[in-house]
Amino acid sequence: MTLRVSVIGTSYLGATHAAGMAEFGHEVIGIDIDEDKVKVLNAGQSHIFEVGLEPLLEKHTATGRLRFTTDYTQIADWADVHFLALGTPSQANGAADLSQLHAAVESLAPLLTEPCLVVGKSTVPVGTAMALEARIRGLAPAGDAVEVAWNPEFLREAYAVEDTLHPDRLVFGTHSRHALEVLDEVYALPISDRTPVVRCDIATAELIKVAANSFLATKISFINAMAQMCQAAGGDVTLLADAIGFDNRIGREFLNAGLGFGGGCLPKDIAALAYRADELGVNVLSDFIHAVEAINDGQRTEIADLAIEQAGGDVTGKRIAVLGAAFKPGTDDTRNSPALTVADRLHAAGADVRIYDPEARLPPREGFTQVASVEQAMLGAEVVLHLTEWPEFRQLDPEKFADLVKAKVLIDARLKLHAPTWRNAGWKVVQIGRAATM
């Protein structure tokens, strides 16, 4: 059955979800307070770099099945289901900032005179959904005929469309039979695709999401701690990860050692879980998460220190080439990017940092210069840092850059370049957790 669906917030999550809902056959209106985004999306274009998103936007805006607006009156009583896809960034103390969700609810709820379902997709601290439901029911003329459910989202940037159309699993957190039936209807297509569906209470749904991200972060910090161990003992962390990854109970994914995790999700979500755990007196969980965070922060410091060491202990006035600015390949997103933390540290230490990324566009900022090619980044560099593992960096021919750089020193912080090829071309290659002979 075709439903009328609104998606509130149209960034990495919301724009993809809106396009996905249209692909599932629903009539969709996306809403955002950012007029520029709405304009671009209505033209069938994407305001972010995400493979496969633009063709979907183009296809469904062309038929009118998918539209975007800034006007809440257009969605309020029109939609059967309102999805909340607002940002939930970190506050300085680590707690989730829920102000975007609150503002959206203040705009939407007073306009709701008909029964409808409001479904949260944003990642939130446990307890948020029920508090939002009370607030909405208090403001909405429809009162208790408005219900809240939570359907957390697990899409990865760079695979957002694929993950939306073919999710690994769906989680429906509800407190009524009716809400469950509506969610079953919304996702009728992927469900028929044999996607596992976890039907649970709302608190469990909120917690599943942060548990998933915390577990992923834990795997990365564990392997980075093992990289330190390999470094100290002369072992090879990549072979170690391959070997333990063959065990199905462990799995090879998220065991890539290097610069650690960043982005708009993992760091803020685990910080918010630690904060909420402390609020609820579950200190054993917050202590655990703080250890994961400390290892992750340590990787960034280690790589910046290594660059300074390789430059002879002082980078003042020295040129450093940074390959990669996005928090991972396949996206233009630089939120909490490990690469930028390292670049910032080197700038603060006095270096002249030249940074190249195939997709991420940095706003002009003091400290480093974004350049348009690898060659420009390498020109005159005394150390080259590989910080985001874009596939194109693996194709680089080290011979080609030998005369451009001032010193042939490469720090491969993602352990993804073929070190023997670089060494054969006369480069010194440093990889944390891998012996220099690898």
Ligand X SMILES: NC(=O)c1ccc[n+]([C@@H]2O[C@H](COP(=O)([O-])OP(=O)(O)OC[C@H]3O[C@@H](n4cnc5c(N)ncnc54)[C@H](O)[C@@H]3O)[C@@H](O)[C@H]2O)c1
Residue numbers at the binding site for ligand UPG (CB under 6 A):
123, 153-157, 213, 216, 220, 254-256, 258, 260-263, 265-266, 269, 327-328
* Residue 292 touching ligand X (CB under 6 A): no
Among ligand X, ligand UPG, none, residue 173 binds (CB under 5-8 Å by kind) = none
29 beta partners = 6, 67
Helix, strand, coil share (%) of the chain residues, nearest 5: 45, 15, 40
Which of 116, 200, 230, 265 is catalytic? The answer is: 265
| Residue 32 among known ligand-binding residues | yes
* Amino acid residing at 78: W
> By the 8 A CB rule, do 12 and 50 touch?
yes
Q: Is residue 133 helix, strand or coil?
A: helix
Nearer to ligand UPG, 112 or 411 (CB): 411
Out of ligand UPG, ligand X, none, what residue 266 binds, judged by CB under 5 to 8 A for its kind, is ligand UPG
Give DSSP secondary structure letters for 345-413: HHHHTT-EEEEE-SS--PPP-TTEEE-SSHHHHHTT-SEEEE-S--HHHHT--HHHHTTTSSS-EEEET
Q: Which of 87, 262, 338, 433 binds ligand X (CB under 6 A)?
A: 87
Nearer to ligand X by Cβ, of 23 and 412: the residue is 23
Determine if residue 258 is labeled as part of a ligand binding site: yes
| Residues contacting ligand X: total by CB under 6 A | 27
- Nearby residues of 100 by Cβ (< 8 Å), 6 or more positions away: 9, 86, 87, 88
Residue 122 binding: pick among ligand UPG, ligand X, none (C-beta 5-8 Å cut-off by kind): ligand X
**Which of ligand UPG, ligand X, none binds 328 (CB below 5-8 Å, type-dependent)?**
ligand UPG
Report how far residue 329's alpha carbon sits from residue 158's, in angstroms, rounded to the nearest whole number: 7
What is the C-alpha separation between 357 and 387, in angstroms, rounded? Answer: 10
Torsion sign across C-alpha atoms 100, 106, 108, 114: positive
Indicate the SS3 state at residue 66: strand
Does the annotation place 37 within a ligand binding site?
yes
Closer residue to ligand X, CB minimum distance, 116 or 353: 116
Q: Based on CB atoms, which residue is closest to ligand UPG, 265 or 346? A: 265
8 scored as a contact of ligand X (CB under 6 A): yes
> Could you tell me if 9 and 69 are in contact, meaning their C-beta atoms sit under 8 angstroms apart?
no
List CB contacts of 337: < 8 A, sequence separation 6 or more: 262, 263, 325, 326, 327, 360, 388
Specify which residues 411 forms β-bridges with: 385, 430
Chain residues 17-46 in contact with ligand X, contact rule CB under 6 A: 31-34, 37
Nearer to ligand X, 111 or 435 (CB): 111
Q: Considering only residues 46, 61, 123, 238, which one is a binding residue for ligand X as defined by CB under 6 A?
A: 123
Question: Restricting to residues 147-186, which ones interact with ligand X according to CB under 6 A?
Answer: 153, 155, 157
11 is a site residue for ligand X (CB under 6 A): yes
**Does residue 103 interact with ligand X by CB under 6 A?**
yes
Nearer to ligand UPG, 12 or 356 (CB): 12
Q: Inter-axis angle of helices 12-23 and 35-42, to 10 degrees?
A: 30
Rounded to a whole number of angstroms, the minimum distance from the CB of residue 69 to ligand X is 10
Segment near ligand X (CB under 6 A), from 4-12, 140-148, 176-184, 398-406?
4-12
Residue from 38, 53, 76, 104 binding ligand X (CB under 6 A): 104
Catalytic residue list contains 200: no
- In the complex, least distance from residue 416 CB atom to ligand UPG, rounded to whole angstroms: 10
Q: Does 379 bind ligand X (CB under 6 A)?
A: no
Reference 207, options 264, 265, 277, 138; nearest CA is 277
What is the widest separation between alpha-carbon atoms in the chain? 73
Give the pairing of strands 170-173 and 116-120: unpaired
**Does the annotation list 335 as a binding residue?**
yes
Does the footprint of ligand X cover residue 122 (CB under 6 A)?
A: yes
Q: Using CA atoms, how far apart are residues 38 and 68, in angstroms rounded to an integer?
A: 6
Binds 258, which of ligand UPG, ligand X, none (CB < 5 to 8 A, cut-off by type)? ligand UPG
Q: List active site positions.
A: 265
- Residue numbers of the site for ligand X (CB under 6 A)? 8-14, 31-34, 37, 85-88, 100, 103-104, 107, 122-123, 153, 155, 157, 264-265
